[in-house]
Amino acid sequence: MRFRLEQRDQLQRWAEQGFFTADEWQQLREHNRLQPDSDEWRGLLQQLSVWAGAMALGSGMIFFLAFNWADMSRFLKLGLAAGLLTGMTLMAAWLADSLLARRAVLFGCALVTGALLALIGQIYQTGADVWQLFAVWALLMLPWALLARSSACWLLWVLVLNLALGRWLALHAVGFWRPSDQLVLLPVALNLLLFLLFESQSSRLLQQPRLWLVRVTGLLALVSVLPGALMAFWDSAFIVQLLAWGGLCALGIPWCLKGRRDLPLLAVQLFSGVAVVASALGRVLEALDGFLLFNGLALWVILGSVLVSVWLQRLHREQH
């Protein structure tokens, strides 16, 4: 019998925890393939080669144009970029029966689309802001991501969308310049929507659903308000971010415990709580001598981190 990689890891953990006797484990290893064979190694190398080739095509075109920028006419530049995009699109259609190669080529199409937009903006000096470039790129990338149903394509789309919003917020002078502005909650709202989207529709959006896309969007939602939450005890203008962080953890921790048991997301929230409490203690104890203050904060960080780690290890053992 051939087990998947996740199943092999599970069997190995059970063996380490003593669920199998020595004879049972020996029989299991003799009658089942617990080590990768040559076909699996070949499949892994094939996947790496295909994805590396797709990224090399996209990045190679970008560097080629950058290096030869002064020696090429604008029409030649646009023709090369558009020709590469057209060729990769036709290749994706031709590779309809090969899901791996098709997903990799569509990922390359997503990269080349962004390069083509940047090229048009540079040649014709459209005057568009950087956030508009990223926003249009995310919009035009969406069909590639829907067709590819690939985690890599969706991750690129999520990052570009967040970059577009981040550049727009920077242009409108929010964030640390105007921390009380409600617009600072837009990244939280965006990534929460993406979190719910990938959590509820992963089977439709992905060929092989993966938890890490949900984790990335959850992490982005938390990280977008964590700096403000740390500053809230020193500047009341950041209270909005502190409340948003508290709301995320109040909803996220029970979900990670009682909903889908997700220890990585739970760990991020708990360790962020250690950091926020450390910031609060620093504000309360700021009148103390510097030596006592820093040693007290260090003691809390060590103690809090140890308690969180012990609890997470206990949950991990219960889960497995």
> Which CB contacts under 8 angstroms, 24+ apart, belong to 197-203?
198/154, 199/260
Q: What is the DSSP letter of 125?
A: T
Segment-wise mean pLDDT, segments of 10 residues, the chain, 320 residues: 59 63 63 64 77 77 74 80 83 77 85 84 73 91 90 92 90 57 83 91 80 89 91 86 92 86 89 94 82 88 94 81
The domain spans of the chain are 73-217, 230-319
* Rg of the chain in Å (alpha carbons): 25
pLDDT score at 23: 66
Distance separating alpha carbons of residues 117 and 109, to the nearest angstrom: 12
pLDDT tens profile 262-297 = 888 999 999 999 999 999 998 888 877 777 888 889
pLDDT score at 216: 92
pLDDT score at 37: 64
Whole-prediction pTM? 0.79
CA 108 to chain centre: 18
Question: Dmax of the chain from CA atoms?
Answer: 73
Distance separating alpha carbons of residues 198 and 187, to the nearest angstrom: 16
pLDDT tens profile 166-201 = 888 888 765 544 555 677 788 999 999 999 999 888
